[in-house]
Protein backbone atom coordinates (compact mmCIF):
# COMPACT_ATOMS: atom_id res chain seq x y z
CA UNK A 1 0.00 0.00 0.00
CA UNK A 2 1.13 3.52 -0.73
CA UNK A 3 0.57 6.75 1.18
CA UNK A 4 -0.55 9.89 -0.70
CA UNK A 5 1.79 12.82 0.05
CA UNK A 6 3.13 16.17 -1.16
CA UNK A 7 6.89 16.85 -0.95
CA UNK A 8 8.21 20.44 -0.91
CA UNK A 9 11.87 21.42 -1.09
CA UNK A 10 12.31 24.26 1.44
CA UNK A 11 16.03 24.93 0.94
CA UNK A 12 18.91 23.25 -0.81
CA UNK A 13 22.52 23.63 -1.87
CA UNK A 14 21.73 22.19 -5.32
CA UNK A 15 19.18 22.38 -8.15
CA UNK A 16 18.95 18.66 -8.97
CA UNK A 17 15.14 18.59 -8.76
CA UNK A 18 13.19 19.83 -11.78
CA UNK A 19 10.49 21.32 -9.51
CA UNK A 20 10.39 22.35 -5.85
CA UNK A 21 7.19 20.39 -5.23
CA UNK A 22 5.91 16.95 -6.15
CA UNK A 23 2.60 15.36 -5.25
CA UNK A 24 2.47 11.60 -5.37
CA UNK A 25 2.78 8.44 -3.32
CA UNK A 26 5.37 6.82 -1.10
CA UNK A 27 5.75 3.42 0.50
CA UNK A 28 7.52 4.76 3.62
CA UNK A 29 7.83 7.89 5.75
CA UNK A 30 11.19 9.72 6.10
CA UNK A 31 13.43 7.81 8.50
CA UNK A 32 16.83 8.83 9.83
CA UNK A 33 19.68 6.90 8.23
CA UNK A 34 17.80 6.06 5.02
CA UNK A 35 16.92 7.83 1.74
CA UNK A 36 13.34 8.95 1.13
CA UNK A 37 11.53 8.10 -2.12
CA UNK A 38 8.35 9.45 -3.73
CA UNK A 39 6.60 8.54 -7.00
CA UNK A 40 4.56 11.13 -8.90
CA UNK A 41 3.28 12.11 -12.31
CA UNK A 42 5.99 12.25 -14.96
CA UNK A 43 7.23 15.61 -16.23
CA UNK A 44 8.44 13.94 -19.43
CA UNK A 45 5.96 13.00 -22.12
CA UNK A 46 5.88 9.28 -22.74
CA UNK A 47 7.10 8.30 -19.27
CA UNK A 48 4.74 6.59 -16.85
CA UNK A 49 5.89 8.21 -13.60
CA UNK A 50 8.48 10.35 -11.88
CA UNK A 51 10.63 9.03 -9.03
CA UNK A 52 12.49 11.32 -6.62
CA UNK A 53 14.96 9.79 -4.16
CA UNK A 54 16.73 11.94 -1.57
CA UNK A 55 20.07 11.29 0.04
CA UNK A 56 20.10 9.81 3.54
CA UNK A 57 17.73 11.50 6.00
CA UNK A 58 19.76 13.14 8.80
CA UNK A 59 16.87 14.50 10.93
CA UNK A 60 13.11 14.01 10.83
CA UNK A 61 10.30 15.54 12.88
CA UNK A 62 6.56 14.86 12.59
CA UNK A 63 3.87 17.32 13.69
CA UNK A 64 0.71 15.31 14.15
CA UNK A 65 -1.61 18.35 14.28
CA UNK A 66 -0.54 19.56 10.81
CA UNK A 67 0.31 16.07 9.47
CA UNK A 68 3.68 17.35 8.19
CA UNK A 69 7.14 15.81 8.41
CA UNK A 70 10.06 18.22 8.25
CA UNK A 71 13.28 16.44 7.39
CA UNK A 72 16.89 17.23 6.51
CA UNK A 73 19.15 15.36 4.15
CA UNK A 74 22.81 15.94 3.32
CA UNK A 75 22.06 19.03 1.19
CA UNK A 76 18.38 19.89 1.59
CA UNK A 77 15.47 20.64 3.89
CA UNK A 78 12.02 19.24 2.96
CA UNK A 79 8.43 19.26 4.15
CA UNK A 80 6.31 16.20 3.52
CA UNK A 81 2.57 16.78 3.88
CA UNK A 82 0.45 13.68 4.47
CA UNK A 83 -2.61 13.90 2.21
CA UNK A 84 -3.93 10.44 3.06
CA UNK A 85 -6.32 9.78 5.97
CA UNK A 86 -4.31 6.77 7.11
CA UNK A 87 -1.84 6.92 10.01
CA UNK A 88 1.60 7.65 8.51
CA UNK A 89 3.33 5.82 11.36
CA UNK A 90 2.02 2.59 9.82
CA UNK A 91 4.45 3.30 6.96
CA UNK A 92 7.68 2.95 8.92
CA UNK A 93 10.13 0.65 7.19
CA UNK A 94 12.84 0.53 9.80
CA UNK A 95 12.87 0.24 13.58
CA UNK A 96 15.04 3.12 14.83
Rama region for 92: left / alpha / beta (φ>0; ψ in -120 to 50; rest) = beta
Question: What string of pLDDT tens digits covers the 96 residues of the chain?
Answer: 899 999 999 987 776 666 678 999 999 999 999 999 999 887 677 777 788 999 999 999 999 999 999 999 998 999 999 999 888 888 887 665
Sequence spans of domains, the chain:
3-90
Helix locations, 20-89, DSSP H: none
In Å, how far are 1, 3, 15, 25, 95 from 84, measured between CA atoms? 12, 6, 28, 9, 22
Q: What's the whole-model pTM score?
A: 0.84
The region, left, alpha or beta by phi > 0 then psi within -120 to 50, assigned to residue 70 is beta
Amino acid sequence: MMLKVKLKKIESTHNNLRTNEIEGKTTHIPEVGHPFQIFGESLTEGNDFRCVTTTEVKESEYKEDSRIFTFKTLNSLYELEILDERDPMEYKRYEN
